[in-house]
A and B are shown apart, each in its own frame.
Chain A
Amino acid sequence: MMFKYFVLVCLFASASLNVQAASDEDAWQALQKAADAAHVLSYQGIFVCQSGQHTKSVEIKHMFNGQQEYSRNVVLDGAPREVFSQGGNLTIYNPKNEKIIIEKRRGQNMFPAILPTNLVAVKASYSVRTGETERVADRQAQVLLLEPKDNLRYGYRFWVDTEYGLVLKSVMFNNRNETMDSIAFSQVNLFNTVDLDWFKPKIDANKNYVMEDEIAAQADNNPSPHWVLKELPAGYRKVDQMMRTVRGKALPVTHVIFSDGLASVSLFIEPLANGAKPRVGRSVVGNTSFYSNVTGFLQITVLGEVPEATVAQIANAVVFVK
């Protein structure tokens, strides 16, 4: 008799586990659809971006013509900064005093394409679950919660258009469920023309357009003889390493970038200049954590939009080699 009950309980438990696994898989698929939709749909609208005390409205137009993506993002509040993206190459027109500075960057996670199209790394560090259905920007949206598996990263909540899969709203939150950062469409619609007459900056004839002067960064493939990285925080891996000039520094600084698929952390390593005061300290300002210390004759500086424990672990992973 007891045995029968036991079998029944086991069957019931495994059935509910299966249901759980199936719904997880569904949620991951929905997230994958959201990651792809932001690249392959053509849409325009206005979204509001909020980080700490700052809020900016941005007008976006994104077009995919079957081969390449084009997008124009114009900041509507304050300085009329314009960000143009063509297949991941960014050109930023940044008004500064009487000039417009033209900056070139690599674009990777611009709203609404916040999610990487390859979710393997994300799956290792976050779990996903389906929430309510809510209305955002006059559209029906399914809430997907991306929760960190540990305290080394922040969580996300995505509102995904139930029809087209586009991310309509994204919120980053900490372990106390406080919002760290949020971006949301207030108005959005799809379009299907492929002309490109809109893909040009608003030129102001009274201003000087100048290219950004500093050579920002060069790839750095030489392993340094003076430091090695031991154990990194779980889920983070090195995605880039470069030499860059940092304002106020006489010598180039090594800049290493780590990512868990969503969050990024920067590590800066430089020789401690003769007579310079070593910087040792930590702080959390808004969504950014900062940690600096000294190992051997190296000044270590780490910062990123992650909890304090993560920047501290990365700083302490740098080992000085004589």
Chain B
Amino acid sequence: MNEQISALIDDEIALEDAAHLMAALQANSGAAQAWSHYHLIGDAMRGTEALSPNFKHNLMQKIELEPTVLSPNAAQFNQNDVEKSDKQTAIHIASAKHKLPAAWSIAASFAAVMVVSYMVLQTQFSNNGALTQVAQAPTLQVADTIQLALAPQDVPMLVTANEQAIPEEYLMAHQASAPTASSYYIQTASYSK
């Protein structure tokens, strides 16, 4: 039985001929276990990465680190009962502010279109001084709009090609087995994790 399951995993038995195996897999827990073991062995031999032992912990930590999003929808939800008191008027104003990002994203799209059209214009009329100047006037505004539209965390980090930070996990392994005199006392890699 197990040999046949192994053959099925390796594509050595056609699916049409494997109906009895499928039935066995559903009926027999030993066969089902063999099925998952063989897959695990195959994955390990191919080097397919399994989830790391700390996967859940790491994932929860990543989620913890995510910035809290103050949702504009939630603010809008309250808007109907807003004009009850002065206090809530303040909330109303705040919620109006929360709407801004939508306007900004429209501005950003518009700005993007302007940049592209400017670039097209400039290549087409680069020999014509007058036209280029006309085209330049709106770009100044465009640049401002883009800056408004992009929140700081949206700006991609500029990393020089080929320059990388030293992966901490390897640095730790190096310092554990081939320490320098100072690495006994100064851990450049963060050992706090």
Do residues A110 and B49 form an inter-chain contact, with CB atoms below 8 A?
no
A73 touching B185 in the complex, CB below 8 Å, given contacts A282-B164, A283-B166: yes
Do residues A49 and B52 form an inter-chain contact, with CB atoms below 8 A?
no
Interface residue? B133 (CB, 8 A): no
Interface bits A166-187 vs B (CB < 8 Å: 1, else 0): 0000100000000001010000
With both chains docked as a complex, state the minimum distance between the C-beta of B142 and any C-beta of chain A, in angstroms.
35
User: Which B residues lie within 8 Å of A81 (CB)?
Assistant: 185
- From 36 to 51 in chain B, residues with beta carbon under 8 angstroms from any chain A beta carbon are 44, 46-51
Kindly specify which of A22-30, A118-126, A196-204, A242-250 makes contact with the partner chain: A242-250
With both chains docked as a complex, state the minimum distance between the C-beta of B109 and any C-beta of chain A, in angstroms.
31
Do residues B188 and A109 form an inter-chain contact, with CB atoms below 8 A?
no
Chain A residue nearest to B165 (CB atoms) is A283
With both chains docked as a complex, state the minimum distance between the C-beta of A183 and any C-beta of chain B, in angstroms.
6
Do residues A75 and B185 form an inter-chain contact, with CB atoms below 8 A?
yes
Interface bits B151-193 vs A (CB < 8 Å: 1, else 0): 0000000000011111101111110111111111110100111
A96 touching B178 in the complex, CB below 8 Å, given contacts A273-B48, A279-B164, A281-B164: no
Do residues A266 and B182 form an inter-chain contact, with CB atoms below 8 A?
no
Kindly specify which of A7-15, A127-135, A143-151, A286-294 makes contact with the partner chain: A286-294
A271 touching B166 in the complex, CB below 8 Å, given contacts A259-B178, A303-B171, A303-B174: no
Q: How long is the Cα–Cα vector from A109 to B177 in the complex, in angstroms?
A: 12
User: Which B residues lie within 8 Å of A2 (CB)?
Assistant: none
Do residues A271 and B47 form an inter-chain contact, with CB atoms below 8 A?
yes
With both chains docked as a complex, state the minimum distance between the C-beta of B42 and any C-beta of chain A, in angstroms.
11
Do residues A303 and B181 form an inter-chain contact, with CB atoms below 8 A?
no
Kindly specify which of A52-60, A62-70, A229-237, A313-321 makes contact with the partner chain: A52-60
